[in-house]
A and B are shown apart, each in its own frame.
Chain A
Amino acid sequence: MKISLSLNINGQDMELEIDAKQTLLEVLRNNTKFQSVHRSCEEGECGACTVLLDNEPVNSCLILAASVQGATILTSEGLIKNGKPHPLMKAFTDELGIQCGFCTPGMLMTSYAVVNKSGKKELTDKEIRKSLEGNLCRCTGYINIVKSVKQAQKAKNAGEWW
């Protein structure tokens, strides 16, 4: 069954022709070529496919694209502004929250939502770990990822954020 789907992805309105059986992950990767959204377990365990759906992190592999008609999607490509990496991305590279990089786009999107939601409040290690429970990383052991999120929060409180 063919469906025409309108989405706002990374600030850009798009009209897409999709099949009803496609997940949001497949549409983002195959139809619109936002390939930072990684395909991995496809059953909601790993979080590599995390995107923001109307500002909330979700597993794009567990969502039928047809069900998000008119939604706003943000992927990690959308964090880059005028060719400049987002302060959150800088925090991940500065604090070595990345090794192989496969989980990173998902980590970024969850962290972005969590840091945005926290306001001025400093998140504790425990809170950060709890919010990142749905993002698996098999390289870093999470310590550097938690540090990265903390640095990102400092950057946000210092006003370097978008």
Chain B
Amino acid sequence: MKNFIGARSMPDLIYHSPNDLDDLMSLLKNAKQKDGDFKIVAGCTDFIPAVRTGRWAFNDGVNIIDIKKIKALEYIKKEDNMLKIGACTRLTQILESSQVNENAQILAQAAIQMASLQVRNTATIGGNICMSSPAADMAPALLVLGAKVTLKDPKGEREIFLKDFFTGPGQNVLKPDQILTQISFPIMGNDKAAHFLKIGTRTAVIISVVSAAVCLGIKNGVCENPKIALGSVAPTPIRIRKAENFLNHKILDDPTIEQCAKIVFEEVSPITDLRSGEEYRKDMARTLVRRAIVACREKLE
């Protein structure tokens, strides 16, 4: 629950700003042995509010490892039919990128609806994923693109699917000395369409009440390989497999879409919190999925 009592002062910080990945790795190696908390940050647009509102408390001070200066983590590039995005790429860079707009427009669509111009100029895509909020707007869009994330620690790096990354609200598989370096996904062909929608308590600068992303293709008149992902309806952003399986190889007429949306309604189990009630979230999950599928169908016609 949000704290309305007022802003808390910042804890004592020891600030580290590695210039490249090697610096960062040696810092992480030592940080493990050092006493006290350390936190890896980039844009800080979630870190500072979390401290100010008391969600995170560091009574004995905290070591801040700021990875924003590492230029090797700031890129958008096309390689082997994959789009690769560095973790420290800012949201503004994503929504203005021609690579993103040509190859994964759904990401730009999600990014433009996030926070405000000022926050988008600072916040990074990696930060949005690593905070692992169930309401992270990048997550549903990346989930339907079949994204993978690269995790790196002093011992080496590995790549896992984004769907296996989240473990709970604000929780993920990252170890304390591990960072997320890259998000990558296969480039969508012209035979596929994707659409992102979100609903909030107002239209701007708002955390999603429900967000939905759909990606599908149509081949020989039937829907092929649909992917449906939702935010804010479960402890983590999720894919709705049952609805995807139902939709696969079906003709996308209105009753089928309605039926698919109904499965979504039945599958999700959101909570009631200060942004919205459970019933409303379920209803909106159904509505957004229906609208997103219709939007994809229109794009492919």
| A residues apposed to B, CB below 8 Å | 1, 3, 19-23, 41-45, 47, 50, 53, 56-59, 61-64, 66-67, 69, 110, 114, 130-135
Contact residues of B: prevailing secondary structure: loop
Tell me the chain B residues, 1-50 only, with Cβ under 8 Å from chain A: 7, 10-15, 17, 43-45, 48-49
> Which one of A41, A47, A67, A133 contacts B44 once the chains associate, using CB atoms below 8 Å?
A67
Answer yes or no: B160 CB below 8 A from chain A CBs. Answer: no
Answer yes or no: B68 CB below 8 A from chain A CBs. Answer: yes
Given contacts A23-B10, A62-B44, A64-B44, contact A44 B118 (CB under 8 A): yes
Given contacts A3-B15, A58-B121, A67-B17, contact A43 B10 (CB under 8 A): no
> Which one of A20, A23, A131 contacts B15 once the chains associate, using CB atoms below 8 Å?
A20
Pairwise interchain contact B52-A133, C-beta atoms closer than 8 A: no
Q: Please name all residues of chain B whose beta carbon is closer than 8 Å to the beta carbon of A1 when the two chains form the complex.
A: 12-15
Of B10, B14, B43, B92, which is in contact with the most chain A CB atoms at under 10 Å from its CB?
B10
Complex Cα gap A135–B53 (Å): 20
Answer yes or no: B122 CB below 8 A from chain A CBs. Answer: yes
> Which one of A21, A131, A134 contacts B12 once the chains associate, using CB atoms below 8 Å?
A21
Please encode chain B, from 83 to 94, with 1 for each CB lying within 8 Å of some chain A CB and 0 for all others: 000000000100
Q: Please name all residues of chain B whose beta carbon is closer than 8 Å to the beta carbon of A43 when the two chains form the complex.
A: 7, 48-49, 52-53
**Chain B nearest CB, measured from A8 CB (Å):** 18
Interchain residue pairs A-B with the least CB separation, the first 10: A134-B116, A133-B204, A43-B49, A20-B15, A21-B10, A20-B13, A21-B13, A59-B118, A66-B15, A42-B7
Pairwise interchain contact A61-B48, C-beta atoms closer than 8 A: yes
**Chain A nearest CB, measured from B97 CB (Å):** 16
**Chain A nearest CB, measured from B3 CB (Å):** 10
Complex Cα gap A63–B121 (Å): 11
Answer yes or no: B82 CB below 8 A from chain A CBs. Answer: no
**Chain B nearest CB, measured from A15 CB (Å):** 17
Q: Which residue of A lies closest to B204 (CB)?
A: A133
Pairwise interchain contact A64-B119, C-beta atoms closer than 8 A: no
Task: Please tell me the number of chain B residues within 8 Å of chain A, measured between CB atoms.
Answer: 29
Answer yes or no: B70 CB below 8 A from chain A CBs. Answer: no
Q: Which residue of B lies closest to A69 (CB)?
A: B17
Complex Cα gap A69–B69 (Å): 10
Complex Cα gap A85–B19 (Å): 40
Q: What are 20 pairs between A and B in contact, CB < 8 Å?
A: A1-B15, A20-B13, A21-B11, A21-B13, A22-B10, A23-B48, A42-B7, A43-B49, A45-B205, A47-B118, A57-B118, A64-B64, A66-B17, A66-B66, A67-B15, A130-B204, A132-B117, A134-B117, A134-B118, A134-B204
List 5 additional A-B contacts (Cβ < 8 Å) besides A44-B48, A59-B119, A133-B117: A1-B14, A21-B13, A130-B204, A131-B117, A132-B117
Q: Please name all residues of chain A whose beta carbon is closer than 8 Å to the beta carbon of B121 when the two chains form the complex.
A: 53, 56-58
Complex Cα gap A133–B119 (Å): 11
Complex Cα gap A58–B12 (Å): 24
Given contacts A21-B10, A45-B205, A56-B92, contact A62 B15 (CB under 8 A): no
Pairwise interchain contact B48-A133, C-beta atoms closer than 8 A: no
Given contacts A61-B48, A62-B45, A63-B44, contact A110 B117 (CB under 8 A): yes
Pairwise interchain contact A62-B14, C-beta atoms closer than 8 A: no
Tell me the chain B residues, 105-124 only, with Cβ under 8 Å from chain A: 115-119, 121-122
Complex Cα gap A23–B47 (Å): 12
Q: Please name all residues of chain A whose beta carbon is closer than 8 Å to the beta carbon of B68 when the two chains form the complex.
A: 67
Q: Please name all residues of chain B whose beta carbon is closer than 8 Å to the beta carbon of A63 when the two chains form the complex.
A: 44, 122
Complex Cα gap A66–B69 (Å): 12
